[in-house]
Amino acid sequence: MNEIPAERLTATELRAGASLATIFFLRMSGLFMITPVFVLYAEHLRGATAGLVGIAIGIYGLTQALFQIPFGMISDHIGRKKVIGAGLFIFVLGSVMAALGRDIYWVTLGRALQGAGAVGSTTLALAADLTREEHRAKVMAMIGITIGLAFPIAFVVGPAVSAHLGTPSVFWLAAVLGLASIAVLLLWVPTPVRSTFHRDCEVIPAQFLDILLDGNLLRLDFGVLALHAIMTSTFVVMPLVLRDAAGLELARHWHVYLPVLALSVIALAPLLRLSSGSGSRAKGVFCASVFTLVAAEVGLRYGHAHLPSLGASMLLFFSAFNFLEASLPTLISRAAPADRRGTAMGVYSTAQFLGIFIGGAAGGWLHGRYGTQAVFLFAAAIAALWGVLALGMARPRHLVSRMHSVGPISRADAATLAARYCAVPGVAEAVIVAEDGIAYLKVDPQIFDPAALRPDAAATG
Domain residue extents for the chain: 10-190, 210-398, 400-453
**pLDDT 10s digits, 30-62:** 999 999 999 999 999 999 999 999 999 999 999
pTM for the whole thing? 0.93
Give long-range contacts, CB 8 A cutoff, 24+ apart: 369-377. Answer: 369/50, 372/237, 372/240, 372/241, 372/245, 372/304, 373/301, 375/233, 375/234, 375/236, 375/237, 376/234, 376/237, 376/297, 376/298, 376/300, 376/301, 376/304, 377/297, 377/298, 377/301
Fold of 10-190: Growth Hormone; Chain: A; (1.20.1250)
> 400-453: same fold as 210-398?
no
CATH architecture of structural domain 400-453: 2-Layer Sandwich (3.30)
Task: Domain 210-398: give its CATH superfamily.
Answer: MFS general substrate transporter like domains (1.20.1250.20)
Q: What does the pLDDT profile of the chain (461 residues) look like in tens digits? A: 333 345 688 999 999 999 999 999 999 999 999 999 999 999 999 999 999 999 999 999 999 999 999 999 999 999 999 999 999 999 999 999 999 999 999 999 999 999 999 999 999 999 999 998 778 888 888 898 898 899 999 999 999 999 999 999 999 999 999 999 999 999 999 999 888 888 888 999 999 999 999 999 999 999 999 999 999 999 999 999 999 999 999 999 999 999 999 999 999 999 988 888 667 889 999 999 999 999 999 999 999 888 999 999 999 999 999 999 999 998 998 899 988 999 999 999 999 999 999 999 999 999 999 999 999 999 999 999 999 999 999 888 888 888 888 888 999 988 999 899 998 999 999 999 888 888 899 998 888 888 888 776 544 44
